[in-house]
């Protein structure tokens, strides 16, 4: 005897997990955005207040945090373009899986390049 | 004997199933389209922002008051940052609105969460816009320039 509904629209795999990832990264980016506008607004308080608070972004732990944030942004950006392709390209829905693997590939390449550059600047000789 | 069979549903859609003339108009379609259009623009604006601020020169170590002053001395970066602020806030607000609608089941909870969300959005957009337009590279308090500012000699 079935005790639950027989099925839901999403049943795991690429379609559902990309949707989950898009939601989580979106919320993370939104909350960072609120904080980032507030910290930037300190330029209207005083030059020293801004420079002091922005200095908090320059320690090694924050460098990892920034890398995580950029990882979220890059995934959300590339997967967002995939969603647009699914919606507007005639064959978008048919190739949504392949496009997700393209998103992950581009994400990996972008993140390797970003991490090498950002971490060597943020962690190196200052 | 002939029977006339009407086309299914033609002109006989019960009022509660009609998709036109609802009180919300086509707001949700506009919101859907806005997410896609703003998304494309935001990819360019944010990737550009990250590249110029973190990847070029000394990267994050170069960011201080003088860095901001240098960028906002140029109307190009003022327009860039202003567009990024507005599009990102509206895109993010609409995304969080969708999430609230999905997960908050009680009417009162949804209304409360969305009131908080929209208040935060208005505050951040107004604050950010004012900061970009009223930025002063040489802030002066009681006739004394603040240390760290860039004042004409």
Report d(CA A23, CA A41) in Å as an integer: 27
Question: From CA B138, how far away is CA B136, in angstroms rounded?
Answer: 5
The phi and psi torsions of B47 (rounded to 5 degrees) equal -60, -40
CB within 8 Å of chain B, chain A residues 31-90: 33-34, 37-38, 40-41, 43-44, 46-48, 50-51, 54, 57-58, 63, 66, 70, 73, 77, 80-81, 83-84, 87-88
Q: Which of A16-25, A26-35, A99-108, B57-66 has the lowest mean pLDDT?
A: B57-66
H-helix or E-strand containing B78? helix B75-103
Provide, for chain B, the percentages of residues in helix, strand and coil under a 3-state DSSP scheme, each rounded to the nearest 5. Answer: 65, 5, 30
Q: A23-74 pLDDT, tens per residue? A: 999 999 999 999 999 999 999 999 999 999 998 888 889 999 999 999 999 9
| CA dist., res. A119 & res. B24, Å (int) | 48
Q: How many whole angstroms separate alpha carbon A118 and alpha carbon A10?
A: 37
pLDDT of residue B1: 63
Asked if A98 reaches chain B (Cβ–Cβ under 8 Å), the answer is no
Q: What is the pLDDT of residue B17?
A: 74
**Predicted local confidence at residue B99, as pLDDT:** 97
Q: State the nearest Cα–Cα gap between A19 and chain B, in angstroms.
A: 12
Confidence of residue B133 (pLDDT cuts 50, 70, 90): very high
**pLDDT bucket at B76, cuts 50 / 70 / 90:** very high
CA distance B52 to chain A (A): 12
Question: What are B140's strand-pairing partners?
Answer: B145
Q: CB of B34 within 8 A of CB of B95? A: no
For chain A, the average pLDDT equals 90
Q: What is the pTM assigned to this prediction?
A: 0.86
State the average pLDDT over residues B117-128.
98
């Amino acid at each position: 005897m079935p005790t639950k509904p027989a099925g839901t629209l999403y049943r795991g795999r690429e379609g559902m997990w990309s949707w989950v990832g898009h939601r989580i990264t979106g919320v993370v980016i939104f909350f960072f955005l609120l904080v980032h506008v507030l910290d930037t607004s300190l330029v209207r308080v005083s030059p020293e207040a801004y420079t002091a608070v922005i200095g908090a972004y320059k320690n090694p732990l924050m460098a990892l945090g920034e890398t995580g944030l950029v990882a979220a942004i890059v995934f959300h950006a590339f997967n967002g373009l995939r969603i647009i392709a699914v919606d507007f390209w005639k064959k978008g829905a048919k190739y949504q899986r392949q496009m997700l693997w393209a998103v992950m590939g581009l994400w990996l390449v972008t993140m390797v390049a970003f991490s090498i550059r950002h971490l060597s600047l943020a962690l190196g000789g200052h | 004997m002939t029977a006339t069979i009407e086309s299914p549903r033609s002109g006989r859609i019960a009022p509660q199933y009609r998709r036109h003339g609802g009180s919300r108009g086509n707001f949700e379609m506009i919101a859907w389209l806005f997410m896609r259009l703003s998304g494309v623009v935001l990819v360019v604006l944010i990737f550009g922002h990250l590249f110029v601020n973190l990847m070029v020169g000394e990267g994050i170590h170069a960011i201080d008051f003088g860095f901001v002053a240098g960028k906002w001395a140029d109307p190009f970066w003022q327009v860039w940052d202003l567009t990024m602020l507005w599009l990102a806030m509206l895109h993010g607000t609409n995304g969080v609105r969708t999430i609230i609608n999905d997960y908050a089941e009680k009417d009162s909870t949804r209304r409360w969460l969305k009131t908080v969300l929209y208040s935060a959005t208005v505050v951040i957009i107004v604050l950010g816009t004012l900061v970009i337009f009223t930025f002063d590279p040489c802030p002066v308090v009681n006739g004394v320039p603040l240390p760290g500012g860039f004042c004409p000699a």
